[in-house]
A and B are shown apart, each in its own frame.
Chain A
Amino acid sequence: MLFFLVAPISIIVPVSFSSSQFLQFPPPGFSLQWYREIFTGPNWTDSIITSVQVGVLTSLLATTLGVLASFGIVRGDFRGKQALYTFLLSPMIVPTIILAISIYFLYARMRLVGSLLGLTLAHTVLALPLVVVIVSAALRGFDVTLERAARSLGANEWTTFFHVTFPLLRPAIVSAAFFAFLTSFDELIIALFISGTSAVTLPKRMWDGIRLEISPAISAVSVLLIAIAVVAFVAIGILQRKGAGGSDD
């Protein structure tokens, strides 16, 4: 059963190194031609750059807003807190196709289709709930006495935050930032509607490619996407092990 989960994905790896012009299995020979194509062909490189830019910007924006909001949700004491928390997480529940078309209707009027800013803002809506889930969980498990100790030793609010609170939360925040990046980097459905022709992300370009022909170049892109996901996954695994308490179980 576990084999069923992993094996189908791994089939892409040998295909991406194929020397054949089309999809053929087993590949007739080894070649790096498809990697050369995606890293030097103008269309693919443009898309890689667009995706990295949008991913980094989304990650920065979603992490900043999400960390702030998590403090408000966990530390704040006001009526309607639970409702607000549900609202912050609700973009995870709404089917992405619905988010995509409602944002598209908005952008069509504001001429934001095909812009990096538009993509970044839309992806932030998707990434924000993830950041809030991760950071607020870490904040709930946070030992407040450490902050009190710092304060009682004479540290002011800012010093306490930067020398005590932030370092302790850093693993969770960095994990959240990776998550947000990956959410944006892999996102397709929203990009399908708002990429336009001037900000085509990597998944959007891949989608267009698949609909035309199943060239092994798509496999090379897939391997690239898998590699980035695995790197983020491992990085977060290491961070969580380092994180507060060291036990994730």
Chain B
Amino acid sequence: MQSVLVLAPALVLLTLLYLLPLAQMLLRSILDPEFTLEHYQHFFTEAVYLRVLGVTFRMALAVTVLTLLLGFPVAYVLSTARPRWRNIMLLAVILPFWISILVRTYAWMVLLGRSGVVNETLLRLGLVTEPIKVINTQAGVLIGMTHILLPYMILPLYSVMRGIDPRLMQAASSLGAGTWSALRHVYLPLAMPGIVAGSILVFIISLGFYITPALLGGPRDQMVAMVIAGQVQTLLNWGFAAAISAVLLGTTLVLFAVCNRLVGLDQMFGGISR
């Protein structure tokens, strides 16, 4: 009885400001102005929006692959380092996490802009004759998002790798396995829960990313979240925005359910909440 009482305030708040508004938004996607599936049809048939879907999925996939390639070695080194070094390295992974995404994106604008740090340096060194255009391209978005999402990959990987007994690799090599084969047949299967958790997490977050693509991407690199915002803020087309949101939400929830089946959500957030 008491546990119901202490849970009540939080549940009331979440119901009124999260569950009901979300449900209402979903209803709006089929009831604006009256029952219709037009918004969904519109989204899945117009070339403009198919392109947006394509850009979004490709970008999410590219960011996932890049963060995995970059994050795997880092997580491995972290899991095998001496405690002293490990703490310093963990600091470098976790600290950026705490810094606003807006600030981190802005930092890339300062670095990569037309008269940014990178271009100025390259020009001064005579390596290029005119500034390279990175901002307002997909490359800019890819760099920014990879940088921002890297910790989300490293932490689940690290939390799994920490539990892998290093003697297993030694055993494999003493039984004649080469480094590659030991890595492939022993280490990778053991690290797989971390790889799956990190990849799905990064992929899901990428799908709904807004700030970084909006600031670093060009008008042709619109991702789903930007279209939703645009439909609400400038076009006032709420029903359509709701339909796109429903698709994004559905995709996100399905992926989470898959991940929960495969590795458990604890594994996914295990590394991050600390």
Contact = CB atoms under 8 A, between A and B. Distances in A.
B9 A99 contact: no
B80 to A, nearest CB: 15
Given A6-B92, A15-B110, A124 B13 contact: yes
Contact of B24 (A78, A86, A106, A248): A106
**Does more than half of chain A's interface fall in helix, strand or loop, or is it mixed?**
helix
Interface in B217-244: 225, 228-229, 232-233, 238, 241-242
A218 B195 CA distance: 37
Interface string B105-140: 011111101011100100000000000000000000
Contact of B102 (A87, A122, A186, A219): A186
Interface in A20-67: 23-25, 64-66
A12 B7 contact: no
Contacts of A12: 103, 106-107, 110
A66 B6 CA distance: 9
Given A1-B73, A2-B92, A210 B106 contact: yes
A68 to B, nearest CB: 4
B62 interface: no
A229 B100 contact: yes
A5 interface: yes
Given A97-B228, A128-B14, A9 B107 contact: yes
A72 B6 contact: yes
B164 interface: no
B70 A1 contact: yes
Contacts of B256: 93
Contacts of A93: 204, 252-253, 256
Nearest to B229: A97
Highest count of chain A CB atoms <10 Å: which of B18, B25, B115: B18
Contact count band on B = 35 or more
Contacts of B89: 2
A210 to B, nearest CB: 6
Contacts of B6: 68-69, 71-72, 76
Given A95-B225, A121-B17, A225-B100, A101 B253 contact: no
B238 A72 contact: no
Contacts, number: 214
Nearest to A122: B17
A163 interface: no
A25 B123 CA distance: 12
Nearest to B225: A97
B211 to A, nearest CB: 6
B95 interface: yes
B175 interface: no
B117 A186 contact: no
Interface in A77-125: 77-78, 84, 86-89, 91-99, 101-106, 121-122, 124-125
A98 B92 CA distance: 31
A206 interface: yes
Contacts of B245: 97-98, 101-102
Interface string B28-54: 100000000000000000000000000
Given A69-B7, A94-B249, A9 B104 contact: yes
20 contacts: A5-B92, A9-B107, A86-B265, A96-B210, A97-B208, A97-B225, A98-B245, A99-B18, A99-B22, A101-B229, A101-B232, A101-B242, A128-B10, A186-B99, A189-B211, A203-B100, A229-B95, A229-B99, A229-B100, A232-B98
Given A71-B3, A98-B245, A222-B107, 15 more contacts: A1-B73, A2-B92, A25-B115, A84-B11, A97-B229, A101-B245, A102-B21, A104-B232, A188-B101, A188-B211, A203-B102, A214-B110, A218-B106, A232-B98, A248-B274
